Amino acid sequence: MKLPKLSVNAKAKTKLRNTRIAFLFILPAFALISVFVIYPFCTAFYRSFFQIHPYIADEFIGWQNYKIVITDKYFWYSIWVGVKYILCVIPIQFIFAFAIALFIKSKATGSAIIKATIYIPNIISGIVAGSLFLFMFSYNGGAFNRLIGLFNLPNISWTQDYPFFTIVLPGVWLGLGYITLVMHAALLDIPKEYYEAAEIDGANRFIRLIFITLPSMKNIIIYLLVTGVAGNLQVFDTVYLITGGGPGNETTVPTIYIYYRRFGTTQGQAIAASMVLFIILAGLSSIMLTRMKSEKSIEG
């Protein structure tokens, strides 16, 4: 039995009804994004053109805040510190996460315990993690100084002598679990037939890793790289708790720079710096997706 064909008007009405239903499903998410993302962003962009006074009316100064930020050597130094932080944290995370993901996939002894516990750092807030590592780096009684004390070495003032190490370590620890589980899921998604065919052709484990595993994980690696750069360039809580951006400006990442300029009459400069940081993040993400020719970005 053949179904009756719909007329042109009936098809148009059906398409319109389906479109309305689709918009109804999208509406709650769009409302939340509008309230918590679009409106705050537009408000911040508008206020970046003002010099904000605590007790008197704000003064419109045009692009002056942006000029001050762009010509401020301390802002660009904070960007450089953020880039150094990324170059330290992301490679270490990727190497360890990939090794752990391979170990979990192998189902060797102890892999189940690691799989169950590896995500724990991600459920701990940055404030708690920062407080924990600050205690571990403590000069008197800290875990690290107790450890080197076993070798009869003198105590080290970690936050003064090795401040960058003290912010990189918690950064690696906090993001390791998430990256490991995503990579593990990507490894499980690779068809076993690829490995079986390569093994028949005589390819060893290293060859299979280079020519099958890594290329098959291309999009996942790009996704983790883009989100990792964006997330780590916005790190704040652990850095603020452990070093406060010091000593000097050695660990002043962009968010710390913005935080210290949000008080008094420099609030407008802080907002302008946030806008510039947003442009930098958007540009970096766009460049990475374009240069690496992500299949997902092409399909989108």
pLDDT tens string 38-66: 999 999 999 999 988 878 888 899 999 99
pLDDT of residue 289: 75
The winner for highest mean pLDDT among 4-13, 47-56, 164-173 is: 164-173
Cα(129)–Cα(143) distance, rounded to whole angstroms?
14
pLDDT of residue 287: 81
pLDDT of residue 7: 60
Handedness of CA 127, 129, 132, 136 (dihedral sign): negative
Please check the confidence at residue 126 and state whether its pLDDT lies above 90.
no
Task: Please give the full DSSP string across 98-114, using - where no structure is assigned.
Answer: HHHHHHHHHT-TTHHHH
84: exposed, middle or buried (Cβ count in 10 Å: 0-12, 13-18, 19+):
middle
The winner for highest mean pLDDT among 44-58, 64-78, 119-133 is: 64-78
Residue 294 pLDDT grade (very low, low, confident, very high; cuts 50, 70, 90) = very low
The letter for the amino acid at 110 is G
Peptide bond preceding 247 in cis form (omega within 30 of 0): yes
Please check the confidence at residue 243 and state whether its pLDDT lies above 50.
yes
Question: Rounded to whole angstroms, what are the CA distances from 267 to 31, 56, 280?
Answer: 28, 14, 20
In the chain, % of residues over pLDDT 70: 94
Give the up-direction half-sphere exposure of residue 52: CA atoms within 13 A in the CB hemisphere.
Answer: 18
CB within 8 A of 165, min separation 6: which ones? 158
Question: Rounded to whole angstroms, what are the CA distances from 210 to 97, 104, 214, 215?
Answer: 17, 19, 6, 7
pLDDT of residue 184: 93
pLDDT of residue 2: 52
Tell me what the pLDDT averaged over the chain comes to: 87
pLDDT of residue 161: 92
SS3 for 51?
strand
Q: How many CB atoms lie under 10 A from the CB of residue 194?
A: 15
pLDDT tens-digit map of 273-290: 999 999 998 888 888 777
Residue 156 pLDDT grade (very low, low, confident, very high; cuts 50, 70, 90) = very high
How many helices, marked H, and strands, marked E, lie in the chain?
17, 2
The winner for highest mean pLDDT among 103-117, 158-172, 286-300 is: 158-172
Mean pLDDT score, 140-165: 91
CB within 8 A of 65, min separation 6: which ones? 48, 49, 50, 51, 268, 269, 271, 272
Please check the confidence at residue 297 and state whether its pLDDT lies above 70.
no
Please check the confidence at residue 253 and state whether its pLDDT lies above 80.
yes
Identify which has the larger pLDDT, 5 or 239.
Answer: 239
